[in-house]
Amino acid sequence: MVGVFGRANRRVGEDVYGMVAESERNDVATELPAQVKSFDAKKQQVTLKVLHKPVFNGQEVDFPDLLEVPVDLHRGGGFVMSLPIKEGDTGMVRFGSRDQDNFQTSGEAKAANTRRFHSFSDGRFVPGASPDSKAMADYDADNFYFGTDDHKNGVRVTPQGTVAIEGAGESAFQIMEDLMTILETSNDIEGPGFTPGVRAAIAAVKARLAKMKFR
């Protein structure tokens, strides 16, 4: 930390330069944890509360809310992974090293409109960062998983190539296997269709699938 090398009523040049350099470093914003206060799904922008308090003159102060911050999505090759971002979700807000207005409006390479440098106006929100107190329970360290963070509803893929689609306490492939078993083992056919007992079993399997159906 920079100290005062000179007497109380004067400062030597090295000390002044050091204080200026430290002040500049303290003003550089790179990345900070943040919490969502609201989300505009149409614009994919959030209002954020920064989860950090700078200290000025020995006192902690609050950051102002960051408004209309673009959300960075996993996107490429014509595919995207979207998230139903909610109030209270946490992540990291990253501040660009230069003014990003032109990129945000046109997506093209252009000279910056201003000389902003690591400005709070050039933040981008990356959802997902969370404190240790919210570490995911039952983390699947062996397979790819995409779904709810309680691991009750989602898609799981193993390195061996097997796939599970799980939801509402059921597995889609298990339900289809059960249906095939009913059809395979049933000899109860009356005229143009199955007996009432077989039809009831098929209806029960259909109802299990319906619980998992999205729309």
- The model's pLDDT over 33-66, given as tens digits with 9 standing for 90+, comes to 999 999 999 999 999 999 998 888 889 989 899 9
In which element (H, E) is residue 34 found?
strand 31-40
In this prediction the pTM is: 0.70
- Give the pair of three-digit tokens for residue 45: 């922008």
Radius of gyration of the chain (CA): 28
- The model's pLDDT over 115-137, given as tens digits with 9 standing for 90+, comes to 777 778 888 999 998 889 988 88
Contacts of residue 10, defined as CB under 8 A and 6 or more positions apart, other chains included, come to none
| Intervals of the chain under pLDDT 70 | 1-27, 99, 184, 187-193, 212-215
The C-alpha atoms of residue 35 and residue 88 are separated, in whole angstroms, by 6
The C-alpha atoms of residue 116 and residue 104 are separated, in whole angstroms, by 15
Q: pLDDT value at position 10?
A: 55
User: What superfamily would CATH give domain 29-132?
Assistant: Gp5 N-terminal domain (2.40.50.230)
Q: Measuring CA to CA, which residue among 175, 163, 184 is closest to residue 203?
A: 175
Q: pLDDT value at position 192?
A: 62
Q: Where in the chain is the domain with CATH 2.40.50.230?
A: 29-132
Q: pLDDT value at position 20?
A: 52
